[in-house]
């Protein structure tokens, strides 16, 4: 295990719903100290109400300065210019982050520092900080995100790869792409907070939130951000064809939901605390992953897949590459008719024996297992900086 280190983690907002970054860093913080940087300069904001609110939130966070959020985790929210294509803005952002990080590191015990980058577009930071290891932890095809300058992100990612010692890819498509560019690339899929979600399988019915208990069954549920990669039109078609089904979406809304607005059997509940999500799983009959099939989702490895399975739920998804290996616990469909057929198949497999078999699939895929794997890779990751520019000779796919 990685121990006795100061770990600088550059990632998205700490204060949002837990993601892979949060799970990994919480475990690493048991033996090291984590300095988490809220990085929010990957895209230029639009003239919308949601972006205006985000700007206000980030200004307030920057004014609060460094915050201790756990015994060994500090969060920094530097004031950054969201102008990714502007070189002066990028130079300003790198300088701002560097100054705050150096000040924070001086306040910690003097020990080796590691730089973990969960974003591909801050290569300038690599040369400004003296890190014993630089880890690029890639969870998405960032160039495919809406609002991002794809060509710019791809160029900056290549620079990040050139400075990284170790590259982690969380899906096979990501691994295949990055392994061609970096000789020390490893495929490490997401883990799961198994015990947390497994509690859903044995929880008494009264633990189900009242807002679910009063709905007609079956209840088909989705946990997660409701963004433009969720195929709301597909869900709308399913809801219209099966008005006897209740479709529930639990998560913050980041896109238009007009496609669902007039459907009485679709319920948008908004975000709920992470601690309560197993109770919602207890109220679901099926867990849904209705992602659009595009470049972004092709490389995705949805954390919710393992969370549903840990809860004992059958899963219905579109045909994402990282989801299909879990068949027959996962049922898939592309069109509304196929999705409905997949849901009917899933609903037919809801016995306690089926639930236990689904849990067994991910019982040994906990975040602790994943972090132990990451630690072995990082500790063995010494190499000559810049080797990523050489043709790939070997790579570890395990």
In this structure, are residues 38 and 77 in contact, taking their beta carbons and an 8 Å threshold?
yes
Mean pLDDT of the region 372-390: 69
How is residue 379 written in tokens? 């500790």
Taking the CA atoms of residue 277, residue 280, residue 286 and residue 290 in that order, the dihedral angle to the nearest 10 degrees is -60
Q: Please indicate, yes or no, whether the overall pTM of this predicted structure exceeds 0.75.
A: yes
Q: Which residue ranges form the domains of the chain, and what is each CATH number?
A: 6-191+367-389 (3.40.50.2000), 194-362 (3.40.50.2000)
Q: Does 90 score more than 80 pLDDT?
A: yes
Instruction: Give yes or no for residue 217 having a pLDDT over 90.
Output: yes
Q: How confident is the model at residue 296 (pLDDT cuts 50, 70, 90)?
A: very high
The Cα–Cα gap between 104 and 8 comes to: 10
Q: How do residues 222-276 score in pLDDT, each as one tens digit?
A: 999 999 999 999 999 999 999 999 999 999 999 999 999 999 999 999 999 999 9
Q: Which letter, b or e, does each residue of 36-48 get, where b requires 16 or more Cβ atoms within 10 Å of its Cβ? A: bbbbbbbbbbeee
Instruction: Compute the distance between CA of residue 233 and CA of residue 269 in angstroms, rounded to an integer.
Output: 18
The 3-state DSSP class for residue 73 equals strand
């Amino acid at each position: 295990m990685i121990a006795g280190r100061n770990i600088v983690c550059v990632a998205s907002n700490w204060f949002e719903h837990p993601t892979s970054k949060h799970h990994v860093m919480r475990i690493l913080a048991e033996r090291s100290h984590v300095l988490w940087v809220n990085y929010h300069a990957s895209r230029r904001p639009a003239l919308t109400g949601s972006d205006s609110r985000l700007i206000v939130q980030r200004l307030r966070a920057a004014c609060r300065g460094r915050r201790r959020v756990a015994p060994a985790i500090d969060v920094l929210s530097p004031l950054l210019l969201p102008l990714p294509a502007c070189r002066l803005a990028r130079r300003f952002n790198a300088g701002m982050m560097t100054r705050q990080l150096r000040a924070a590191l001086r306040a910690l015990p003097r020990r080796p520092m590691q730089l973990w980058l969960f974003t591909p577009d801050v290569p300038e930071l690599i040369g400004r900080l003296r890190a014993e290891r630089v880890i690029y932890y890639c969870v998405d095809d960032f160039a495919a995100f809406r609002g991002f300058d794809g060509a710019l992100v791809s160029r900056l990612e290549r620079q990040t790869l050139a400075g990284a010692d170790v590259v982690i890819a969380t899906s096979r498509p990501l691994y295949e792409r990055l392994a061609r560019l970096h000789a020390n690339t490893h495929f490490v899929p997401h883990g799961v907070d198994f015990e947390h979600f497994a509690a859903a399988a044995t929880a008494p019915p009264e633990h189900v939130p009242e807002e679910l208990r009063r709905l007609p069954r079956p209840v088909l549920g989705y946990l997660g951000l409701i963004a433009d990669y969720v195929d709301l039109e597909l869900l709308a078609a399913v809801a219209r064809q099966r008005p006897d089904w209740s479709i529930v979406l639990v998560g913050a809304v980041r896109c238009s939901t007009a496609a669902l607005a007039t459907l009485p059997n679709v319920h948008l509940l908004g975000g709920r605390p992470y601690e309560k999500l197993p109770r919602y799983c207890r109220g679901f009959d099926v867990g849904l992953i209705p992602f659009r099939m595009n470049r972004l989702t092709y490389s995705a490895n949805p954390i919710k897949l393992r969370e549903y399975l840990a809860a004992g739920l059958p899963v219905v998804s579109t045909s994402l590459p990282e989801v299909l290996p879990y068949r027959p616990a996962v049922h898939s469909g592309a069109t509304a008719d196929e999705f409905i057929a997949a849901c009917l198949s899933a609903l037919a497999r809801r016995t306690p024996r089926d639930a236990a078999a689904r849990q067994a699939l991910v019982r040994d895929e906990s975040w602790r297992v994943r972090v132990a794997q990451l630690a072995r890779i990082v500790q063995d990751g010494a190499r000559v900086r810049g080797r990523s520019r050489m043709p790939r000779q070997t790579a570890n796919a395990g």
